[in-house]
Amino acid sequence: MDTLLRTSAEEINNGVIDFIKSAFKGKKIAVHIYEEEEPDETSFLLSNTETKNRLIASVGNVKNHVNLKEYSITDIENILNDGGE
């Protein structure tokens, strides 16, 4: 059996320990604790060529003031309330 528990250090309590003891009663276990890093969103987005190209093109559009849409607060509220454009 292979079980992964993801939690913060503050959430580890006697209940977690009791669960581990109960779930693995009579078995030898190994506990591996490591600090989980937050995902780097920029690296993730740039790892996909299509997404990377779309982002680069979008940044270029903003810099060059082309292919932009302008919305009023009312427009945005209507889009959110209607579920679409």
Instruction: Calculate the alpha carbon distances from 85 to 55, 69, 78, 80, 82 in Å.
Output: 21, 12, 8, 8, 8
Q: What is the structure's pLDDT at 37?
A: 79
Q: What is the structure's pLDDT at 84?
A: 59
Instruction: Give 76's pLDDT tier (boundaries 50, 70, 90).
Output: very high
Predicted model pTM: 0.42
Query: Token pair for residue 64?
Result: 């060059």
Average pLDDT over residues 60-69: 93
Q: What is the pLDDT of residues 28-45, one digit of tens each?
A: 999 988 887 777 888 888
Q: Is the pLDDT of residue 82 over 70?
A: yes
